[in-house]
Amino acid sequence: MSTNEFGGGQDPESDILVVTTNDVAGYRVQRVIGEVYGVTVRSRHVGSQIGAGLKSMFGGELKGLTKTLVDSRNEALQRLTEQARVRGANAVLMTRFDVNDAQDLGTEVCAYGTAAVIEKA
């Protein structure tokens, strides 16, 4: 697997700026729209779960699970930015991620933050 499969983040071409900070240097918040979030729940197929179980007995990275989590996080981020866009935002401030087990059926990833309209200061 390439390093691109283990990383992610916002599409550089996106019209929505997503940051983990309260502020964006050189910009001011013109209007706060409110909370937005994107959620996805993913499960793994039985074969990969067995393989991960065997790998966990001997140690080392569970690359298949890592890739699934990266894909889930990127999908949640994409859904977050779509919600912000629909609500008229051009930025999402204070972005965070939560990851939880979803009733032992899969993994839930939620990206959330504050949608806002920002402008150059």
Q: What is the pLDDT of residue 8?
A: 74
Could you tell me the domains of the chain? 3-120 (3.30.110.70)
Q: Residue written as tokens 């499969």?
A: 5
Across 95-110, b (16+ Cβ under 10 Å) vs e yields bebeeeeeeeebbbbb
pLDDT at 14: 87
User: Which residue ranges in the chain fall short of pLDDT 50?
Assistant: 1
Residues 117, 47: Cα–Cα separation, whole Å: 46
Residues 67, 51: Cα–Cα separation, whole Å: 14
The pTM of this model reads 0.81
pLDDT at 61: 74
Which pLDDT belongs to residue 54? Answer: 57
Q: Which pLDDT value is given to residue 1?
A: 47
